Amino acid sequence: MRALIDLLIQHDFLLVFLVTLAARIGAPLPAAPLLVVAGGLAAAGRLSALSLVVAAVLANVLGDAIWFIAGRTHGHRVLRLLCRVSLSPDVCVRQSESLIARWGGSSLLAAKFLPGISVVAAPMAGALGMGWRRFVAYDAVAGLVWTLCFLGLGLVFSDQIQDVLDALSNAGLLALAAIGAVLLLMVGNRWRRRRQMARLQGEVERISVEDAAALVDQDMAPLFIDVRSDPGRAADPRTLPGALNIPLTRLPEYADQLPRDRLLVLYCNCPNEISAVQGAHELLQRGHARVLALDGGLDGWHALQRRRGRDRGDSGDGDAVDPPSSSAPTTAPAVP
């Protein structure tokens, strides 16, 4: 521990910059705790607070810019990759979509303090078409607020932090074991949630894209329901033939209005089709007997169409239908 503190004192700018940059790119490094410790050392006159602020803000903007470019270039594919490796893939995309849709550029500030979607916010902003200047301006402000928050904690509680550092230095392996135990508890809680989602998937049957396409070819098309959020569809406007656009969060509102004598196939473009599975489970709980989740989701469907030489562009094989707005009378959405 003492060696780490000495390293921070000797290479304050470089260490803070590299750790923060790596954390913004997605590496599991403790950038925020490092800033708190650095703040405590700055209060003692051993580090330059201005140097720490510049290093952290630059690293924030540069790291987020990398993901922003990836989001603008590859859109939903980057988001799906990021959430697939997350321990909470069920909420990763959905939370980031809703956050940016509601708050716009200001969401970049909120995302700094939300570990589950912190890395996803920048590529989501790129995928949704946020301008470069707006992104850099908001992200710089967000990075500054984030930096001042944790650096300020170190400055305010410098005496207590010094006591903690001394205790950690004396404790040695015991301190490292305690820190490791806390990290294991956090990871364990996320893993438990992931296991719950796995059990939920076992309760919902799926249909392959090949079987779904065969039903369409035989004029026995199921009613496809796109459970992605509005920002999600904006980032990836592809759809399925005649699909209804009903976000997962609004599905309970329309559950009783959907036909019970027709096969319902829910789809999304998320890891393990988790949103489609959750939506199908919701409809099954509400008495719908013929509900399936599309295995492979939107990507699987369009990959099949390309293999069959029938890919018809971003609009798929038909136009999607939006449900009524919240201000409209609560009548059933048009069902093809």
**The tokens of 106 are what?**
């200001």
The CATH number given to 201-307 is: 3.40.250.10
Outline where the chain has alpha helix (H).
2-10, 12-25, 31-43, 49-74, 76-84, 89-103, 107-111, 121-127, 132-156, 158-171, 173-202, 209-217, 230-235, 251-254, 274-285, 297-307
Residue 271 CA to residue 192 CA, distance in Å, equals: 17
Domain boundaries, the chain: 2-181, 201-307
pTM flag (> 0.75): no
For every one of its 336 residues, what pLDDT tens digit does the chain have, with 9 covering 90 and above? 566 677 778 888 999 999 999 989 888 788 888 898 898 888 888 889 999 999 999 999 999 999 999 988 887 777 767 766 555 555 566 666 666 666 667 778 877 887 666 777 888 888 777 889 999 999 999 999 999 999 998 888 777 766 666 665 565 566 567 667 776 776 776 677 666 666 766 678 999 999 999 999 999 999 999 998 887 787 778 899 999 999 998 999 999 999 999 999 999 987 778 889 999 999 999 999 999 999 999 989 999 998 888 545 444 445 555 664 443 333 334 443
Q: Determine how many CB atoms are found less than 10 A away from the CB of residue 131.
A: 10
